[in-house]
Structure 1
Amino acid sequence: MAFSSLYAAGMQEMFVASSIWKIVISLIVVIAFIPACLWLMKRFQFAQMKLGQSEIKIVNVQSLGTKEKLMLVEVEGERLLIGVTPQSITHLRSFSPKGKSFASMMEEVDRENTPDNKSNGDSL
């Protein structure tokens, strides 16, 4: 009877040890599974972007507030400046593909809107 109780205690210790190893191995598999899934998602997302080549390209985005932004979008070689808010999308200006650079156009608009240009016509 002493032998059977020692045998039962030994079996119980072996069962506990094997349970701990099963838990450790399961944890390692789960931890290794997470980066593998992330890698696969990134790879498939990149493949979808390659296959779904769009004619619309977002060239630049400038945030104006929490939900407002300016977007420079290129469609069929023409660049469009649009304003985006939660309620609407507004076309602000179009740029020809072979025209001036965006920076030079903005400088031109600034020169047009300076107080000197506006006051010259009003003061006379």
Structure 2
Amino acid sequence: MAVPHLQAVGVQEMSVTSSIWKVVFSLIFVIAFIPACLWLMKRFQFAQMKLGQSDINIVNVQSLGAKEKLMLIEVEGERLLIGVTSHSISHLRSFPIKANSFASMMEQVDRESSRDNKSNGDTV
């Protein structure tokens, strides 16, 4: 009578052990599946961006505060300097595409504004 009881205990131990292994393998699968899904999503988003390329390119962004920034964007062969706040977008200036850099453009604007102020009789 003891032998069937021992066999039943052995079967129970095997089923518990196999259940633990099933849980471990399932957990490993889920942990590996999440990064794989994230990688696929990123790859598809990159492909969508390439297919739906925009004619508007952001060349440079300069933050001026928490919600204010200057943006230099390129649209149809022209560069535009715009001011962006949480409530509005303002066109500040247009530049030809051949301009060298954001810093040189800002210096040019500075020179022109100081020249305008001097011609109006204002002092800076």
Give me the TM-score of the superposition, normalised by structure 2. 0.83
Number of matched residues? 122
Deviation at 1:106?
A: 2.2
User: What is the letter of the counterpart of residue 110 of structure 1?
Assistant: D
User: What is the letter of the counterpart of residue 91 of structure 1?
Assistant: H
The reply to whether residue 74 of structure 1 matches residue 55 of structure 2 is no
CA RMSD of superposed structures (Å): 2.5
User: What is the letter of the counterpart of residue 26 of structure 2?
Assistant: S
SS in 2 for 1:60: strand
Alpha-carbon contact 2:99-2:105 (below 8 Å) kept:
no
The reply to whether residue 3 of structure 1 matches residue 6 of structure 2 is no
- Change in CA separation of 1:53 and 1:6 when aligned onto 2, cut-off 3 Å: same
Moved beyond 6 Å, runs of 4+: none
- State the partner residue of 1:87: 87
For structure 1, list consecutive stretches of 5 or more residues without a partner in the other structure: none
SS in 1 for 2:72: strand
User: Separation in 2 of the partners of 1:24 and 1:122?
Assistant: 77
User: What is the letter of the counterpart of residue 6 of structure 1?
Assistant: L
Deviation at 1:118?
A: 3.8
State the Cα deviation string for residues 21-58 of structure 1 (Å, max 9, x = none): 00111011111101211110111011001100110111
SS in 1 for 2:65: coil
Using the TM superposition, name which of 38-47 and 100-109 deviates more.
Answer: 100-109
- State the partner residue of 1:59: 59
Identity %: 78
Alpha-carbon contact 2:69-2:83 (below 8 Å) kept:
yes
- State the partner residue of 2:37: 37
For structure 2, list consecutive stretches of 5 or more residues without a partner in the other structure: none
SS in 1 for 2:97: coil
State the Cα deviation string for residues 65-115 of structure 1 (Å, max 9, x = none): 12211111110011111111111111111112245654333223333555x
